[in-house]
Amino acid sequence: MARNMVQFQKGLSEVGFDKLFGSEEQCHVALVGWRWPDGFVCPECGTGGHCIVKRGARRLFQCNACRKQTSIKAGTIFASSKLPLHLWFKAIYLVTQSKKGISSIELARRLGVTQTTAWVMKHKLAQVMLERNASKKLKGKVQMDDAYIGGQRPGRPGRGAAGKTPFVAAVATTDDGKPDQIILRRVKTFSNFAIGKLAGTALVSGIVVVSDGLRCFTAVTQAGCTHEVIKTGGGAKAAKTPAFKWVNTALGNIKAAIVGTYRAVREKHAPRYLAEFEYRFNRRYHLEDMIPRLAFVALRTPPMPYKLLKLADVYA
């Protein structure tokens, strides 16, 4: 029996990671190269001439023209962080290389920091993933389904039950029917407005979208997509419908990972947890590349203070 390419790919070992990014100097050199691949550019005046000013452990780039000083972290997701760069790199490694994710408690243990610090690091990196995912659109034939995070509390049954966070999962397949890319977006409700808005931002016009009989999915036609309905009924049998094989497989893996890794996910933070799964899934064939790719985008993501991380409430 042939091996599954995703399960058995080599990735980057911890030994390999330590060789590449085990010291503060290695991490600093890597970030400088990713932030300014063509050489330093002053964020104030755009010139390149500069000198290095050392203040204790800090290294500042001072522009020769306007004298503005900046650091490798300034204006990025790493801004204001007093943590060493090698801890940020280790966090990136642990967050990207784990298929089921890593809790802030486990991350804290691995990094030797407090749980609050680990939570902030993890959610800042997830925010980078969330903003990066927002520009992606699915193409090919798409399987779409409604899903929930969270369990049911006493009260109204079914869709809209208390304690459930609704989101949409959509998997694009290749010409030979294999899963390609995925999107996972929280929605306020399963309504025509919410699905129409999602389709406009996440689907390429003209593609075919296959869904069950939930009426709101017809709104994908607002984005110029063709909609095919396959009525599945309810229960476990519906989840085995061949037309929804990959979206149901993805949802099963995501829900199992959330229960096993995080136990509970607060509704307002759900978009970032979903963004993690989406980001890793869409880059699953290139595990070793996720560290430089995520760091590269993190250097181009505006600062996200703790206060904003706690308050952020994002819908599709």
Burial of 222 (0-12, 13-18, 19+ CB in 10 A): middle
Q: Looking at residue 11, what is its pLDDT?
A: 78
**Is residue 229 situated within a structural domain?**
yes
**Which residues are within 8 A (CB) of 200 and not within 5 positions of it... i.e. 6 or more apart?**
222, 223
Q: Looking at residue 154, what is its pLDDT?
A: 47
**Is residue 234 situated within a structural domain?**
yes
Residues 157 and 265 grouped into a single domain: yes
Range of 47's domain?
A: 41-72
Q: Looking at residue 86, what is its pLDDT?
A: 97
Residues 63 and 167 grouped into a single domain: no
Sites in the chain below the pLDDT cut of 70: 1-9, 151-162, 233-239, 316
| C-alpha span between 177 and 142 (Å, rounded) | 10
pTM over 0.95: no
Residues 150 and 65 grouped into a single domain: no
Residues 194 and 271 grouped into a single domain: yes
**Is residue 230 situated within a structural domain?**
yes
**Is residue 55 situated within a structural domain?**
yes
Q: Looking at residue 12, what is its pLDDT?
A: 87
Q: Evaluate whether 260 touches 252 at the Cβ level (below 8 Å).
A: no
**Is residue 269 situated within a structural domain?**
yes
**Which residues are within 8 A (CB) of 307 and not within 5 positions of it... i.e. 6 or more apart?**
none
Give the number of domains in the chain.
2
**Is residue 12 situated within a structural domain?**
no
Find residue 185's DSSP bridge partners: 168
CATH number for position 192: 3.30.420.10
Q: Looking at residue 202, what is its pLDDT?
A: 97
| C-alpha span between 69 and 111 (Å, rounded) | 30
Domain end, chosen from 54, 72, 90, is at 72
Q: Looking at residue 263, what is its pLDDT?
A: 79
Residues 150 and 62 grouped into a single domain: no
Q: Evaluate whether 223 touches 205 at the Cβ level (below 8 Å).
A: yes
Q: Looking at residue 6, what is its pLDDT?
A: 58
| Helices 14-21 and 85-97: angle between axes, nearest 10 degrees | 150
Q: Looking at residue 30, what is its pLDDT?
A: 98
**Is residue 31 situated within a structural domain?**
no
**Is residue 233 situated within a structural domain?**
yes
